[in-house]
Amino acid sequence: MEDLNKYHSVHPVLDATRPQVYIETYGCQMNVNDSEVVLSILQQAGYSLCTEMKQADLILVNTCSIRDNAEQRVLGRLDVFRLEKKRRKGVVVGILGCMAERLKDKLLEHPAVDIVAGPDAYRALPKLVAAVKASGKQINTILSHEETYADIAPVRMDRNGVSAYISIMRGCNNVCSYCIVPFVRGAERSRDAWSIVNEAKVLICNGYKEINLLGQNVDSYLWTNPADPTEKVDFADLLEKVALLDGTVRVRFATSHPKDMGEKVIRTMARHDNICKHIHLPVQSGSTVMLERMNRKYTRESYLAQIEMIRGIIPDCGITTDVIAGFSGETEQDHEETLSLFRKVRFDGAFMFQYSERPGTKASRHYPDDIPTEVKTSRLNEIIALQNTISMENNRECIGKEYEVLIEGTSKRSESELVGRTTHNRTCVFPAQGHKAGEYVTVRVHGCSSATLLAEII
Ligand code: 5AD
Ligand code: SF4
């Protein structure tokens, strides 16, 4: 492959003589990748990344609004930044991302905050910082129909140099009634397919071994070449283009939507060994009545049929999900249907939440938040307990089997142990035996917990 490195540095350029920027990131993988875009823009404007808040001239916090507790954590951090500003005059604090977009000038009232910048305003950051120095607090929360940051090469902030994110689209056109995302991230836009392929090439040239394609709803990715409208690239086409770049580089993607995910994507996954056999397919509820109220546009039955379709084509495909306990109007019967769907599907893993009403959403306007907190919590705990048992049973079935694993780094518990994942997204821990991050090894599983497979390199 041609050397694309001469054009970009994918890693932070650390230079203590430059003004220092410190970035804290909350929320989803897309936010992590947005922070990498922000760093790229600021590095271009002369800043250097620092890892300690105490060294920073500019403190940025990239925020999440998905549930109230995500926002509360950030508000707590603002008090810490306020103290830092008192200690060191001239430090500038900026709030970025979804909370900036949701709360707008309300955040500017906070004494710690100098800049409020929404998800489509990052190109303006250098100007906003300069304007703070000249004339005080600044805000830009304009949402765009076009911005995809396609021409900005993210500066990677991962620790291991093995796995990297590429955002393939921004925004969301679904209106799930509980969800704040369409309000804070704006309308859906698909990024230029060739800019995605080029970004993947740059990562591969830099030794990355896993590429994660990100979008709120990857199945609705569709790019039409403005120079030649007959050239259309859908998600399955894009997945294939990226997979064909290098057979030794894994490709993953998230998030799929049950209303849009079709057989073409699954067949594309099956055709390429390096497309990981894992789908994250949020179900949200096992009750069709709840799904209707959530405006998800699929039913319990159609979701189950999709799971069957996936397993028919890729029998051992890893499948994970998201679920919300205690949405408006959820009866004991609806909750039982969620539990029974979990028993039927036997997910490999799940992110499980209790419903948090978000101001401005359709649910906040039309459906009362009427499930008492204790009931939400007890339903959530029941789902968690069930899923833990299922994960444990699924993992036990892996004992004695062999898997190819991409090593991602050392384990949290011990320097002499490594962590990697199987194609199905199962995490394995095993003694290093001289191997290191970025290598593929074959391991045999000899034990497990509900979250991890314990293995040995063979
Ligand atoms: N309350 C609780 N969970 C939510 N999610 C999205 N909005 C809410 C909310 N208001 C969950 C969904 C989604 C995941 C990213 O967060 O399960 O898939
Ligand atoms: Fe990501 Fe949604 Fe949180 Fe925004 S609100 S950071 S899109 S999870």
Over residues 84-110, the pLDDT tens digits come to: 999 999 999 999 999 999 999 999 999
Q: Which ligand is located closest to the Cα atom of residue 167?
A: 2
Task: Tell whether ligand 2 has an atom less than 6 A from the beta carbon of residue 169.
Answer: no
Ligand 1, residue 282: give the atom nearest the CA: 18
Q: Which ligand is located closest to the Cα atom of residue 178?
A: 1
Of the candidates 200, 196, 260, which has an alpha carbon nearest to the alpha carbon of residue 233? Answer: 196
Task: Tell whether ligand 2 has an atom less than 6 A from the beta carbon of residue 99.
Answer: no
What's the pLDDT at 159?
85
Over residues 247-283, the pLDDT tens digits come to: 999 999 999 999 999 999 999 999 999 999 999 999 9
Mean pLDDT lowest for which of 9-18, 147-156, 210-219, 345-354?
9-18
> How many angstroms does the Cα of residue 142 sit away from the middle of ligand 1?
24
Q: Taking the alpha carbons of 369, 373, 377, 378 in that order, is the dihedral positive or negative?
A: negative
Tell me the backbone φ, ψ of residue 276, rounded to 5 degrees: -65, 145
Tokens standing for residue 200: 């993947």
> How many angstroms does the Cα of residue 112 sit away from the middle of ligand 1?
29
> How many angstroms does the Cα of residue 31 sit away from the middle of ligand 2?
7
At residue 300 the predicted structure's pLDDT band, cuts being 50, 70 and 90, is: very high
Q: Which residue among 29, 67, 217, 387 has the greatest number of ligand 1 atoms within 8 angstroms of its CB, and so is best to mutate? A: 67
Question: Is residue 239 pLDDT above 60, yes or no?
Answer: yes
> How many angstroms does the Cα of residue 179 sit away from the middle of ligand 1?
6
> How many angstroms does the Cα of residue 70 sit away from the middle of ligand 1?
11
Mean pLDDT, the chain, as a whole number? Answer: 96
Q: Which ligand is located closest to the Cα atom of residue 177?
A: 1
Question: Is residue 8 pLDDT above 70, yes or no?
Answer: no
At residue 9 the predicted structure's pLDDT band, cuts being 50, 70 and 90, is: confident
Protein residue with its CA nearest to atom 1 in ligand 2:
28
Protein residue with its CA nearest to atom 12 in ligand 1:
322
Question: Is residue 210 pLDDT above 60, yes or no?
Answer: yes
> How many angstroms does the Cα of residue 367 sit away from the middle of ligand 1?
16
Protein residue with its CA nearest to atom 2 in ligand 1:
355
Q: Which ligand is located closest to the Cα atom of residue 354?
A: 1
Task: Tell whether ligand 2 has an atom less than 6 A from the beta carbon of residue 276.
Answer: no
> How many angstroms does the Cα of residue 317 sit away from the middle of ligand 2?
26
Mean pLDDT of 23-34: 97
Mean pLDDT of 141-153: 97
What's the pLDDT at 2?
52
Task: Tell whether ligand 2 has an atom less than 6 A from the beta carbon of residue 407.
Answer: no
Percent residues over pLDDT 90 in the chain: 96
> How many angstroms does the Cα of residue 295 sit away from the middle of ligand 1?
13
Q: Which ligand is located closest to the Cα atom of residue 351?
A: 1
pTM for the full model?
Answer: 0.96
Question: Is residue 6 pLDDT above 80, yes or no?
Answer: no
Over residues 381-436, the pLDDT tens digits come to: 999 999 999 999 999 999 999 999 999 999 988 989 999 999 999 999 999 999 99
What's the pLDDT at 288?
98
